[in-house]
Every structure is written in structure tokens, then in C-alpha cells.
Amino acid sequence: MSEGYRKFLRMKQLPHVWCPGCGNGMIVKALLEAVGELGLEQDKVVVVSGIGCSGRTPFVLDFNTMHTTHGRALAFATGIKLANPELKVIVIMGDGDASAIGGNHFIHSCRRNLDLTALIFNNGIYGLTGGQLAPTTPTGKRSTTTPTGSIDAPFDLVRLALGAGAGFVARTTSFDHKVMASLMKRAISYRGFAVMDILTSCPTYFGRMNEVAEPYDMVHYLRDTTSAMHDCTCGETDEAEDPVVAGAAALMSTGVFRDEAREDYGTLYGRKVAAAVERQRSAT
């Protein structure tokens, strides 16, 4: 990491808790690059997390940071952003955090369209609790609670976010590090609710349970189970024909699935308040 981004790290809180070979460090590097390149004011950035391996991210980040309860990071972030719209609020969740225990907050945040950036560190397993089944674990894969393989259908977080109405939806992997930071810049700059499903490697649990225990192999697993980058805004893909959206693919598509300008909740609320204050004034 170049020296420029050291200022975003709480050096005293390092080393972090993640295992060797974990993909989360790559995501954090991209995030700090994105924040640096966007020139965000460090004092006005808030990073909110839930519980799990991803939840440990804000400990080492020198922003305003809040490590909340399992699944509720988006609800806490909603309060922070509405109370002080000047703050740039970035929410970090795990896949189980966002779509199992926090699924309700996730879909409602998608439809509400408050100006938040949701980064989902999706390792397809519950890492911090020791490798149990996640709602994103692919069918047939093993975990400590599906020792003979899962029969559950997994959530596709991109389709979930698209269906729930999020205005910006993208997916990338910790293997695709080079594009991750540029996608994050787009997600963070998006005015409204932006979702990034970031597939990341967990050699310790997902890998050891599923014959990809070596970090090197696990990174290649991410490469080999995803398809090339797409960008809906470049006319490269038609959403209906996208293998992920069409639901037919063995491979997970990566790229930008939706990037639509629409009025965010804060703007709408501001207008509502202005009208209410005016109504009050003319009544008195």
C-alpha cells in the first residue's frame, strides 16, 4: 500500500484479525484508494459495520467508525445519515449480515434509496463463527452446518438488490482488484443507495471445507466461478440477457448491473420538510 493511504489507517489497531489469505484486505485497499481518489474529507466519512469478519473492518480505519449489531448496520447508518446529511456514510456488511439476519433492512434500504454505500463482503460462509452455512453458500457446498453439502438455494445478492429497487448495483471479486477501486468510486459517488456485492475469499473455512484451502487456489476459484466484467451503462449487456439476471448461469456475472439517476430519500425528505415548514408559516 502506498504511503498516501496510511493516513486512513489506525496503525495502532493493526494487525487486523483476518486470516492469512483472506480477501478482505484487498477490498479495504480498494476502498481506501477510492476514498483517497475521491478526495473525501476524512472527518466527514463514517464507516458503519455489522457483525462478522467484515464487521471488524472499521476498527483499523481512521474515520468516524461504528461497529453495530448483527444485521442492523444499515438501520444504524440510516439514522446517522438522516441526522447529519453532510456525512458520507459507507456501510460494510457480510453476506449473512446483509441477507440473513439483516435481510429486511437490506431490501428496505434498497427501496428507500437513502444516500448510503453498501459494501457486502461476500465470502459465501459464516467465517467469524467458524464456517457455518450462509444464505449465499452455493448449493452442494459444505460448511460446518452442512457437512455433507448444502441443499439450500443461495441468494444472489445482485438480483435481490435489483428486485428490491436499488439504483446502483455492481458485483466484483477480490480477484478483480484492479477494477474494484474504480467501481467503488462510482458506488460512493452515486447519489442514492448503492450496493456492491464483493465476492471474497475465505480459504480458512469455505476453502478448507470445499477443496480450495490454499489461498492461491481460492483466488483462482473466484476467477473461475465468475464471468467477465459487464457494464450496463456501456451497452455491453442487456439486463434480460445477462446470465445472472436470467438465472441460468453456473458462473456469477460481475460488473455494473444498474446505474440509474433517481432522487434520493434525503432530497425527497428535504422537499417535504420545506413544504411542511412553509405550510406552518402560512397557517400562523
By the criterion CB under 8 A, which residues form the site for another protein?
10, 13, 42-44, 46, 48, 58-59, 62-69, 72, 75-84, 86-87, 104-105, 108, 269, 272-273, 276-277, 279-280
- Count the alpha carbons within 13 Å of 224 in the hemisphere toward its beta carbon: 7
Q: Cell numbers for 143, please give them.
A: 460448511
Characterize the bridge pairing of strands 117-122 and 194-199. Answer: parallel
Beta bridge partners of 46: 64, 89
Give the whole-angstrom CA distance, residue 148 versus residue 141. Answer: 8
Residue 7 Cβ, how far from another protein at the closest point, in Å? 11
Cα(136)–Cα(35) distance, rounded to whole angstroms?
A: 28
Which three three-digit cell numbers place residue 81?
445519515
Q: In the complex with another protein, which residue's Cβ is closer, 5 or 59?
A: 59
Residue whose CB is less far from another protein, 72 or 141: 72
12 vs 178 by CB, closer to another protein: 12
CA distance between the termini of the chain: 60
Task: Please report how close the Cβ of residue 25 comes to another protein at its closest, in angstroms.
Answer: 19
For Cα atoms 213, 215, 218, give the angle at the middle one, nearest 5 degrees: 70
φ, ψ at 233 (rounded to 5°): -80, -10
The helix (H) or strand (E) run that includes residue 97 is none
Least CB distance from residue 60 to another protein, whole Å? 10
Closest contact distance (angstroms) between CB of 4 and another protein is 18
Nearer to another protein, 57 or 210 (CB): 57
Q: Residue 174 CB, nearest distance to another protein (Å)?
A: 24
Q: Which is nearer to another protein, 63 or 155 (CB)?
A: 63
The answer to whether residues 262 and 113 touch, using CB atoms and an 8 Å cutoff, is: yes
Nearer to another protein, 25 or 266 (CB): 266
